[in-house]
Each structure stands twice: as structure tokens, then as C-alpha cells.
């Protein structure tokens, strides 16, 4: 039996709104904030979702979707299990890329940078703000490890739920945040006739160089 899939999709034209060098801020952060806020206001599901790309010890590129949890002039923050595949990859090579894609508003942002762990206090503060079930989930799962069946997770969840009933749930030492300090941030805006706008910010010492890329 054939397993071929017909993947073409309907072609569509894009926004007439433009992105000009003369109109963008000197730093990428205000523009990113404007775009992600627009994504949220447009009721895009998981507007803070991003594709995180790393390189493993086998020099294999790996990608997965995580959620942006904080943004500042220092960079982009997400949280995970440090013993997971992504955590091991970052320990091997902290150079990562992030990709945000909001097709509903014809926008995409690509980030290249270095990931480093946030402080233990920052991770603890965020962990304390999570729903209890999410906190318990961080204790239950040895993320990326092979398991025999889902039953193992469900049984462990039941045991830990009883153990911590009425108690604060401690943050696992192997769980916390990463701050991605960008060296490059590219903003892509879909335009008619595939003549898309691409504005690239490149960190030069303490300043950002702004350039236009061909679509």
C-alpha cells in the first residue's frame, strides 16, 4: 500500500503591511514584544510557543517545541529538565536557535544565540508559580528516558500526589531555566508576490547592526 502524501497546499498572498529599516527600533526586543503581543491579541493558540534547535553529542541537529516564559533585554527564557535530551545537548554545545512562527499574522522570528542556565533562585521562583500538577509532573518524569509503559508514570503520579498532599512541592535540582542570549534576531514579514521583508539584527559589541536580507 502506498504511503505517499500529497503536500502542496493552497498558495496565498501575504500582508501589504511593510517592515522598513527606518521604522524599526535600535534593539530587537521592542519589536519582538510588539509582534508577540499582536499574536496574543489575535487569539493565536500558544503564541509563546517556539521551536528550539540544538546539536547533540552525535552532531545531530534536534528540534522540539517549548514555551517562552520570560523576555528581557538579556534574552529569551524557557524551562525544562536539565537531564533531558535538550539539556544534554545544551551542555555539549550551548549554541542554539529559536524559531517563532505566527502564520495567522504572516510573521516569523528567528533567533541565534548562546543558552545558559538561569540562577537557581529564578528557577525556584518560577517553579513555585506553576500549577501543582505541573510541579508533580517535573518530579514524575525523567524526561527523554525510555520507559516500559505509561502505567509507570501514572502510578508514580498517584504516589507523589499522596506524598505531597497539603505540602509544598520542592523543585527538583535537575529542573530549571535557560536564558538564550541572542547574537542574531531576524524578523520576517510576509509580503505580496513572495517579496517578503526580512530585517536582521546582529549584535556588534553592545550595539545592534540592522540589515535587510533578500527574501
Q: Residue 148: what pLDDT?
A: 87
CATH number of 21-131+174-213: 2.30.110.10
Query: Contact, 139 vs 153, CB < 8 A?
Result: no
Which region holds residue 8: left if phi is over 0, alpha if psi is between -120 and 50, else beta? alpha
Query: Contact, 210 vs 201, CB < 8 A?
Result: yes
Which listed residue (64, 132, 194, 212) is catalytic?
194
pLDDT in tens, the chain (215 residues): 556 655 566 666 666 688 999 889 999 999 999 999 999 999 999 999 999 999 999 999 999 999 999 999 999 999 999 999 999 999 999 999 999 999 999 999 999 999 999 999 999 999 999 999 999 999 998 888 788 899 999 999 999 999 999 999 999 999 999 999 999 999 999 998 889 999 999 999 889 999 999 99
Half-sphere exposure of 99 (CA within 13 A, CB side): 10
212 carries an active-site annotation: no
Query: Contact, 190 vs 107, CB < 8 A?
Result: yes
Q: Residue 147: what pLDDT?
A: 82
At 202, list the grid cell: 546582529
Q: What is the pLDDT of residues 127-136, one digit of tens each?
A: 999 999 999 9
Domain ranges of the chain: 21-131+174-213
R_g of the chain computed on alpha carbons: 20
| Owner of C-alpha cell 497546499 | 9
Amino acid at each position: 500500500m502506498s504511503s505517499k502524501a500529497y503536500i502542496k497546499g493552497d498558495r496565498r498572498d501575504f500582508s501589504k503591511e511593510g517592515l522598513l529599516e527606518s521604522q524599526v527600533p535600535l534593539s530587537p526586543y521592542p519589536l519582538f514584544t510588539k509582534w508577540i503581543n499582536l499574536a496574543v491579541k489575535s487569539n493565536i493558540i500558544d503564541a509563546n510557543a517556539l521551536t528550539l534547535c540544538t546539536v547533540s553529542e552525535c552532531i545531530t541537529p534536534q528540534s522540539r517545541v517549548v514555551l517562552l516564559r520570560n523576555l528581557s533585554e538579556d534574552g529569551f527564557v524557557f524551562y525544562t529538565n536539565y537531564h533531558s535530551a535538550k539539556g544534554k545537548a545544551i551542555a555539549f554545545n550551548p549554541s542554539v536557535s529559536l524559531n517563532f512562527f505566527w502564520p495567522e499574522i504572516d510573521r516569523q522570528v528567528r533567533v541565534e544565540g548562546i543558552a545558559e542556565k538561569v540562577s537557581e533562585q529564578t528557577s525556584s521562583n518560577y517553579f513555585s508559580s506553576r500549577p501543582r500538577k505541573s510541579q508533580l509532573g517535573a518530579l514524575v518524569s525523567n524526561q527523554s528516558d525510555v520507559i516500559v509503559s505509561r502505567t509507570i508514570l501514572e502510578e508514580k503520579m498517584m504516589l507523589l500526589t499522596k506524598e505531597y498532599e497539603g505540602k509544598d512541592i520542592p523543585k527538583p535540582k535537575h529542573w530549571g531555566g535557560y536564558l538564550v542570549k541572542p547574537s542574531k534576531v531576524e524578523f520576517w514579514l510576509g509580503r505580496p508576490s513572495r517579496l517578503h521583508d526580512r530585517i536582521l539584527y546582529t549584535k556588534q559589541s553592545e550595539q545592534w547592526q540592522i540589515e535587510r536580507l533578500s527574501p
